[in-house]
Structure 1
């Protein structure tokens, strides 16, 4: 990379695992990147449901989920790091119009591109009361790459990248998310060779 070139920034992008990816955690995965800088990257796998749903999760943390439409939604395996910790990816929820950049919740990362990721329990408490963000994806664990690690994996053709579309995260059935993410690149899974490079 030339010294004067801007560093790659894939924040608010999808990483789409190439067919040759053998790591079970990431095989056929779509990762939404919440943060990417020269220090590394952080993201959530959006298409690997765990064996529990939100109703069960809320019972475990002793909250009553009063939004029945969310009860059957799966809790996702967001990645192999801190798998006991919850991460909630959601549409933005603001305190009031005077401070549009300020989130309602105690520990929220505002992601350039329009989404937020909250790690504090208050977002779950809001959902329990019937409030909170309308569109949510709850995961246990996250995916992380150290400095230069993701760039190295991209150079090895482990991932395809494309700008994220929230409709793939929130409005697409889980089993279709991999194919829908590929379609953002105009690709279909059967056309990809495990040895293929970037689109």
Structure 2
């Protein structure tokens, strides 16, 4: 079996997996982030940071959407790409036939048309969240960052995307992994103070 340079516990990047920032990743855009990969294919990778809720209520930006958003019903900082744009994600309720302003992506995830009628979208969505911007990588860029030790790729799901306690996801996701990753969940923010 050929070895691709990944540690045996490291999954390859794919849609619906999580990128967990390694403690050494010091880029302020991604420090201690958890990114949900929406797409990873031959054209590159797209995801959203799921553990950076802002203090801005959704209703301040999209007034009609406040009442149908999942808690916490704030705008999330999805990443450094197109920060002035809003990206809506929803978890389909029951069926894979989205309709009503939802476009199914995969595995129960849907892109939300934020120009649609919120109450109609809410009928087909079990959960809804809005992100300002997203995270993106060109072909090979994410693989290089993973090989350099910047990211851990782990299994994830829609429960992570729509967590009601998103601020603690970095530690929570690491803690549920097997060793050695689980041990990093207690890694101090500033190792020099340890």
- TM-score, normalised relative to structure 1: 0.75
RMSD (CA atoms): 3.1
Query: What do the CA deviations read for 1:98-148 (whole angstroms, capped 9, x no partner)?
Result: xx654214573512x3222235421xx324886452312210101000010
Aligned residues: 178
Other-structure match for 2:8:
none
Which ranges in structure 1 are unaligned for 5 or more consecutive residues?
A: 3-7, 95-99, 195-199
Judged with a 3 Å threshold, the aligned counterparts in structure 2 of structure 1 residues 151 and 49 are, in CA distance, closer, same or farther, namely same
CA offsets, 1:19-58, max 9 Å, x none? 1111111000000000001221000000112231122222
Cα drift, residue 92 of structure 1: 1.6
Q: Show the counterpart of 1:31.
A: 35
Q: Secondary structure at the match of 1:91?
A: strand
Match of 2:61 in 1: 57
Measure the CA separation in 1 of the matches of 2:35 and 2:81. 14
Distance 1:130 1:64, change over 3 A: same
Q: Which residue of 1 aligns with 2:173?
A: 181
The equivalent of 2:186 in structure 1 is 190
Give, in whole Å, the separation in 1 of the partners of 2:70 and 2:127. Answer: 10
1:19 aligns with: 23
Query: Matched residues in 2 for 1:74 and 1:27: separation?
Result: 20
8 Å CA contact 2:16–2:37 kept in 1: the answer is yes
Q: Which runs of 4+ in 1 moved over 3 A?
A: 64-67, 69-72, 127-132, 191-194
Evaluate the alpha carbon distance shift between residue 65 and residue 135 of structure 1 in structure 2; reply closer, same or farther with a 3 A threshold: same
* Runs (5+) with no aligned partner, structure 2: 3-11
